[in-house]
Amino acid sequence: MFTGIITDIGRVLEMHQAGDLHAKIATSYDIAGIDIGASIACDGVCLTVTGLGREPEPWFSVDISGETVSKTNLPGWSVGKRLNLERALRVGDELGGHIVSGHVDGVARLVSLTDDGESTRMSFKVPDALARFIAPKGSVALNGTSLTVNEVEGNTFGVNIIPHTKTVTTWGDAAEGDAINLEIDTLARYVARLAEVG
């Protein structure tokens, strides 16, 4: 489990296809404290650490299944891409965002960015099947970042990105048309399921 509070910005060092997709990601995490088999959310995708190294800079490697590639923005990853990283939640850690599983539900499209004071208002278009799970003042995880929904209109919703968030995540790099990993709020999923069977 994760909280959607980004704690590092990684960078893709290598990617290659050999059965599954394999990637090596640079990090500023202390790799001495990372175990093989640990979970790290990379742009909101929960991935398992399969290798660790220090040269030419600290890195971890991950294996990525075809299923994960098909449900996420991974087809757009390339060497040099910056990624939001978060280590798995530990007992006693502060839950500053919301409960995030790292299981991406689909890909949203960033359709507009507008300056609003020092913040940036961003609007996203989501697949119709996911739109019903998104509510004003509810939570979503976008590229692994816990964000509060401002407004919803059909299959489009908006959020505000404050300057701090743009600095400590990759949201400062965002551009119209970007494909964004979307994870809906777990509570919203269960409420909708109960309504279906109730």
* Model confidence pLDDT, tens digit, residues 131-189: 999 999 999 999 999 999 999 999 999 999 999 999 999 999 999 999 999 999 877 66
Read out DSSP for 5-20? ---EEEEEEEEEEESE
Domain residue extents for the chain: 8-87, 106-197
- Give dist(CA 180, CA 48) in Å, integer: 20
Q: Residues 6 or more apart from 108 whose CB is under 8 A from it?
A: 124, 125, 126, 142, 179, 180, 181, 182
Q: Does domain 106-197 have CATH number 2.40.30.20?
A: yes
Burial 36-51 (b: 16+ CB within 10 A, else e): eeebbbbbbbbbebee
Which of the four pLDDT bands, split at 50, 70 and 90, describes residue 36?
A: very high
Question: What does the pLDDT look like over 178-198, one tens digit per residue?
Answer: 999 999 987 766 666 666 665
Of 145, 169, 156, whose CA–CA distance to 123 is shortest? 156
Domain 8-87 indexed as CATH 2.40.30.20: yes
